[in-house]
Structure 1
């Protein structure tokens, strides 16, 4: 048993978690729309409640990480998730499904924030490398999971219970890894210094401006990105594209992230400024929605997904890495919690706002709005990062 957490155990836990989750999130909207006979707006409200619970879980776990035993916090979150999923296997109709899904969302936020916070405590690797590898592993799990989820969902007669059983097994394996290997030097023993407001733990104003700009940016980016994982499934199936082909888009997404990350890990050795990865990635996310405006064939949806994947592979792991570098050691858990909360806020509003725009206007208007929003986010990040000086790295 390791005395301290090693990166490969962190990545194994991430793999189990992402593989298990891939049997839930790609199918949620289509399951509620086709099997539970709910409108896109109602489905969006359910996903919003799920993500709001995710926000609360992320914020709570981030604050507690700096004060209590992180390993015990992680175990409690995993066990709670297993209990909820076990109930979901037996009761997945309406309204049990949205209620239990919301509870599950709380603990997903809890677990993801704790995992990222564990990553900030690893001393032998840079934050950029750790978050790149976490993102790589997360999407490796997505590749493996989505290869099975769509076809298995159809084989199971469009029922979700068999998929949730697989999620339970993955979370049990995740729990075993955490119990045996998730050990770090306790940070909560020094919490009194954090609470006292000593200058060594204060966040400089320049750091604060950039970090909170990134919080707002990731929320808006995820608000648009959520259209791909929610409303787009209905749009594609309404246009005669099968659920298996929609699911295959996410297999492409995960596979390409694995490939792109190998290239990006090499590029990080050549390009030291992480903001360049953010600039490029956000631009690519914007372009993916421009492609959707003109997409009428499956090949164009594939092209849009490839561009989106290139964008998220470069921007998404860079943002938490920048936040980690700009946060004091004893507050890293707190700000990773805020980051995941901002991400969840975007996920919360995305399906609902997208569903409302679709029902009031059209899918094409939605795609135009999304590309415009991301373009403005890109401009804001560039301006703020160029005008902010006296940044302190921890």
Structure 2
């Protein structure tokens, strides 16, 4: 049985070691993720029950939203310095809140579809910007911060998903209103709290171990950073294999929703057993922090090897349930192992780009995020058709193959990025585009 008091005490030193303003940022991010999770699981039901469309059309809505999210992530990484992090992040969240308020009051299908696409685009823009901002603002603490952000956001998602079902039983529109309100509050918080990070001397700070504090003058103007996108894209060893690996990683993870969920229903089990798997996921994310910290210290001190270890956990998880899925307990074991892999990977990718790509990390974060969203988008199509044609064994087989592909990509990436020094930013062109 988990000793909650002991877990809480073990987490206290981590929070105490972080700057106070970083803790405020984490708290606000937690509230925002909780609010958004109220809405996320209910999109399919909203389209079917409120808009009167088929489940197939609901699937297309999610597909369109994911496509716009990919475009948003890439756009966010490219425009980080043109617009500046504060304007970029607060602007995207403000647009998101306005769109959700609009959705709550519309019954027109074409308008709803356009609003959902705009919501996906706005949410996508904010992701690389948020990660880059944290990496620049609290440079000395970014490894811990990325990990704590991941934990806080997942706890928020769990709480929000539970609240979402209750709120939806009262009114679907109310879910959008609550989510819009929490997003707007987060926007107002960021407008007051955020300071522009002057990255004109980022390379020098990286060299002398600077603390990444905001510039003293709090410049409100976008920072001019040389960015020849073609040269950045040519540096394939830095981003390509980790991005493709991330795509395969998230493709394999979608089998939980598009394979395990219908399989549990087909076996005649109550769908609460599917929800229980995600309860296990949340418990492992909280209780497993000491274990993953030990793994990092013992076997994965370098961030590239941390990604490789995460893929090993995932391959083990999906190989296990490929051969042993008849018993529900084995699915639960697979979820534990897969969650440990997720815990190792998600904080590692933004940390890697923050440390290796320097001022160009927003560009690469957006690129990697686009690939990850592509995996989340392709997975439901692949596993849905596989389940219909060949059954659950084919889903687990393709999921295991995808996790093996992710392992191979992370292995290549680790071997191509053994150098502990940051990637050189020399010979980059000017911002002429």
Q: Structure 2-normalised TM-score?
A: 0.77
Q: How far apart in 1 are the matches of 2:247 and 2:345?
A: 13
Q: Within 5 Å, give how 1:240-255 maps onto structure 2.
A: 240-255=268-283
Structure 2 contact 83–222 (Cα < 8 Å) conserved: no
In structure 2, what is the Cα distance between the partners aligned to 1:90 and 1:332?
Answer: 39
RMSD: 3.2
1:170 alignment partner, one of 145, 169, 182: 182
The structure-2 alpha-carbon separation of the partners of 1:108 and 1:240, relative to structure 1 and needing over 3 Å to count, comes to farther
State the partner residue of 1:301.
331
2:237 matched to 1:209? yes
Counterparts of 1:190 and 1:77, CA distance in 2: 16
1:45 to 1:373, Cα distance in 2 relative to 1, 3 A: same
Q: Deviations over 1:138-193 (max 9, x none)?
A: 1121232233334554x44xx63232233123212211221111113344868545
1:355 aligns to 2:384 (yes or no): yes
Distance 1:281 1:196, change over 3 A: closer
**CA deviation map 1:313-359 (0-9, x unaligned):** 0122212211222103x212111111221221112222222223233
Distance change in 2, residues 1:269/1:204 (3 Å): farther
The aligned runs of 1:177-256 (5 Å cut-off) are 177-187=189-199, 191-195=223-227, 208-230=236-258, 232-256=260-284
Q: Which runs of 5+ in 2 are unaligned?
A: 1-18, 201-220, 424-433
Tell whether 2:340 aligns with 1:324.
Answer: no
Q: 1:391 to 1:50 in 2, by over 3 A?
A: same
How many matched pairs? 381
Residues 292 and 340 in structure 2, CA contact (< 8 A), matched pair in contact too: no
> Could you tell me how far apart the structure 2 residues matched to 1:72 and 1:370 are?
39
Decide which moves more: 73-82 or 115-124: 115-124
- 104-113 or 43-52, which deviates more: 43-52
Distance in 2 between the 1:104 and 1:204 partners? 27
CA distance in 2, matches of 1:302, 1:251: 10
CA distance in 1, matches of 2:84, 2:412: 40
2:82 is paired with a residue whose SS is coil
3-state SS of the aligned residue for 1:125? helix
The residue number in structure 1 matching 2:206 is none
Cα separation, partners in 2 of 1:285 and 1:90, compared to 1, 3 Å:
farther
SS at match of 2:386: helix
Paired position in structure 2 for 1:122: 137
1:240-279 alignment, distance < 5 Å: 240-265=268-293, 267-269=295-297, 271-279=300-308
Structure with higher Rg: it is: 2
CA distance in 2, matches of 1:240, 1:27: 23
Q: Distance in 1 between matches of 2:318 and 2:54?
A: 26
The 8 Å contact of residues 252 and 379 in structure 2, kept in 1 or not, is answered as yes
Q: Which protein, 1 or 2, shows the higher relative CO under an 8 Å CA cutoff with sep ≥ 6?
A: 1
2:71 matched residue in structure 1? 56
Match status 1:140 vs 2:152: no
Scaled by the length of structure 1, the TM-score of the pair is 0.84
Contact 1:143 1:253 in 2 (8 A): no
Distance 1:210-1:192 versus aligned 2 partners, 3 A rule:
closer
Question: In the superposition, relative to structure 1, how do residues 376 and 339 fare at CA in structure 2: closer, same or farther (>3 Å)?
Answer: closer
The corresponding residue for 1:107 is: 122
Q: C-alpha displacement at 1:245, in angstroms? A: 4.0
Q: Contact between 2:128 and 2:365, CA under 8 Å: does it hold in 1?
A: yes
Residues 390 and 236 of structure 1: CA distance in aligned 2, closer, same or farther (over 3 Å)? same
The residue number in structure 2 matching 1:21 is 36
Separation in 1 of the partners of 2:381 and 2:408? 25
Choose from 19, 23, 27 the match for 1:8: 23
* Displacement after TM superposition at 1:126 (Å): 4.1
Q: 2 CA distance for matches of 1:234 and 1:28? A: 18
- Most deviating of 25-34 and 208-217: 25-34
Rate the CA distance shift 1:160–1:357 in 2: closer, same or farther, 3 A: farther
C-alpha contact (below 8 Å) 1:222/1:347 kept by paired residues? yes
Cα deviation, residue 370, structure 1: 1.1
Matches within 5 A, 1:273-288: 273-288=302-317
Query: What's the counterpart of residue 8 of structure 2?
Result: none
- Alignment correspondent of 2:395: 366
Q: 1:228 to 1:164 in 2, by over 3 A?
A: farther
Distance 1:85 1:193 in 2: 34
